[in-house]
């Protein structure tokens, strides 16, 4: 009887998976790059919620103003192709009180065309025109970045080469529900591994060999390898009081059916036409014998 009991216990122990050690977890972790590529299908997308805060100095509480973004991103086999999101300016949070938000600012991107909510345009807009279509060079760097991926993250998770570099420079460990990757990269490294030219958020200029700064990150992925949350600290410059942008992005509903379309043509006005309309509205009436 004792022999049978001992044998049964041995079989039971052998059948129970061993607790996963950090090393084993890293070996068995799904590849986030591959998981993301599998999401790049027509009419599929992801939902995004992001908070960005700006500070003077790593431990500064002087600023803390920021931007909150909420939206959706549509994919194709090539990657992100359309976005529909709303963003708000955030005030500095007070102790025990949430930040105050400005009026919402909605943006739609379909391909290379970007449409801004006409309600937020500072000048006159013709009746019936609800959207302003801006050429890329006139929307400002921040709006161009947001429009591409509904995000201001310095790390482009949809860029395979950048993601591989991030994972290579990360220490990883298993956590509840998935895995956590942590690491740091200099601006020079960021420039080398990015497919496109990264732009410094402080100056709007390309990051070059002499640019000083670094990006630190914490990336949480699920058991399927897909990102769940990305928190970064983008530190520009050096010294004791560098400028820091902290971004916190959450990704949900990966693979949701999503089709983002451009606004109706009759509700859209191009920036050039809008500028001409504003000029005409402000044209003074010529003086003559009848109206002086």
Res. 107: pLDDT tops 50: yes
Q: Please say whether the beta carbons of 143 and 120 come within 8 A.
A: no
State the CB neighbour count (10 A cutoff) for residue 230.
22
Residues 6+ away with beta carbon under 8 Å from 71: 47, 48, 83, 84, 85, 86, 150
Give dist(CA 153, CA 205) in Å, integer. Answer: 16
Question: What are the pLDDT digits (tens) for 7-46?
Answer: 333 433 333 333 333 333 455 789 999 999 999 999 999 9
Task: Specify the higher pLDDT residue, 250 or 142.
Answer: 250
Give the predicted TM-score (pTM) of the model.
Answer: 0.83
Residue 80 has a pLDDT of 96
Give 212-246 as a DSSP string: -EEEEEEEEEETTS-EEEEEEEEEES-SSS-EEEE
Expressed in angstroms, the distance from the first to the final Cα of the chain is 118
In 23-141 the beta strands, taken as DSSP E runs, fall at 44-56, 66-76, 79-90, 105-110, 113-117, 131-134
Q: What is the mean pLDDT of the chain?
A: 84
Q: Which of 1-5, 165-169, 190-194, 273-277 has the lowest mean pLDDT?
A: 1-5
Mean pLDDT of 171-176: 95
Which sequence spans correspond to the domains of the chain?
A: 39-281
Task: Specify the higher pLDDT residue, 227 or 272.
Answer: 227
Res. 163: pLDDT tops 60: yes
Residue 61 has a pLDDT of 62
Res. 67: pLDDT tops 90: yes
| Domain at 39-281, CATH class | mainly beta
Question: What are the pLDDT digits (tens) for 197-218?
Answer: 788 888 777 887 788 899 999 9
Residue 249 has a pLDDT of 98
Residue among 58, 62, 268 at smallest CA distance from 184: 58
Question: What are the pLDDT digits (tens) for 75-96?
Answer: 999 999 999 999 999 998 887 7
Give 110-136 as a DSSP string: ETTEEEEEGGG-SS---TT--EEEE-G
Strand-pair partners of 115: 108, 133
Q: Please say whether the beta carbons of 69 and 146 come within 8 A.
A: yes
């Amino acid at each position: 009887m004792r022999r049978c009991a001992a044998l049964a216990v041995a079989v039971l122990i052998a059948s129970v998976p061993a607790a996963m050690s950090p090393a084993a977890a890293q070996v068995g972790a799904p590849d986030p790059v591959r998981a993301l590529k599998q999401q790049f299908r027509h009419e599929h997308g992801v939902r995004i919620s992001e908070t960005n805060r700006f500070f003077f100095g790593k431990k500064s509480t002087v600023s803390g103003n920021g931007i909150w973004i909420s939206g959706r991103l549509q994919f194709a086999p090539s990657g992100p192709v359309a976005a529909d999101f709303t963003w708000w300016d955030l005030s500095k949070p007070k102790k025990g009180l949430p930040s105050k938000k400005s009026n919402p600012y909605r943006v739609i991107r379909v391909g290379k065309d970007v449409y801004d909510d006409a309600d937020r345009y500072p000048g006159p807009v013709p009746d019936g025109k609800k959207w302003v279509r801006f050429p890329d060079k006139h929307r400002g760097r921040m709006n161009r970045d947001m429009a591409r991926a509904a995000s201001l993250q310095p790390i482009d998770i949809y860029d395979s080469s950048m993601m591989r570099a991030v994972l290579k420079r990360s220490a990883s460990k298993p956590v509840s529900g998935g895995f956590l990757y942590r690491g740091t990269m200099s601006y020079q490294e960021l420039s080398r591994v990015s497919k496109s030219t990264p732009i410094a958020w402080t100056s709007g200029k390309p990051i070059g060999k002499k640019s000083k700064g670094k990006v630190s990150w914490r990336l949480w992925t699920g058991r399927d390898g897909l990102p769940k949350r990305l928190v970064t600290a983008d530190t520009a410059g050096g010294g004791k009081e560098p400028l820091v942008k902290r971004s916190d992005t959450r990704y949900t509903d990966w693979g949701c059916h999503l089709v983002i379309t451009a606004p109706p043509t009759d509700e859209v006005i191009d920036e050039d036409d809008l500028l001409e309309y504003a000029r005409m509205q402000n044209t003074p009436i010529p003086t003559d014998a009848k109206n002086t």
